[in-house]
Amino acid sequence: MQLDPASGWCQGVRLCPSPNFNARPLGEISLLVIHNISLPPAQFATGKVQEFFQNRLDVTEHPYFEGIADLRVSAHFLIERDGIVTQFVSCLERAWHAGVSSFEGRETCNDFSVGIELEGTDDLPFTDVQYDALTALTRQLQSTFTAITAQRICGHSDIAPGRKTDPGPAFDWARYRAALEKEERQ
């Protein structure tokens, strides 16, 4: 995968454009937020996350969908259980992934962050290929947006404590950070 700095789109990933984005107020990109999602909860490879981010989810298919029917959300990327990466929004645009949030006292993290969703739940381990894809994607983002340092990578729970719990206790932060450090040294 290769991130094009001029367009904010990655080459070599699946593209699935979402209408749920707008312009960044300052154009700044300095934070990476890791999330998890599965639709229905704890069910994988359903294609429902893609439908949800494109406002095409049939809310009659599952009782859980009724509760999210009116939400208009997106992330920049989704990494599925098999390591496939899908991009929904250009990194240069403001995806709607963080909601009410704050990082280091600064509100509205969507304004200056990139959001990556991992297909999963708070309490099920993520796959090896998801960690591999996440590491590769993070390195692409960091090489293009140099303000995204190791200290500016966080979970949704870190920027919306009490409201969000993802990526959850099953996400191995030590493994992810060690992989980033290893690639940085190479």
Catalytic residue IDs:
117
Six token digits for residue 12 = 């070599």
- Cβ atoms of residues 44 and 127 within 8 Å: no
Strand partners, 3: 10
Q: What are phi and psi of 70, to 5 degrees?
A: -95, 0
Diameter over CA atoms, the chain? 50
**Is there a cis peptide before residue 167, judged by omega within 30 degrees of 0?**
yes
Q: CB count, 10 Å around CB of 52? A: 22
Six token digits for residue 117 = 């969703």
Helical segments of the chain, H only: 48-53, 63-66, 128-144, 156-159, 173-185
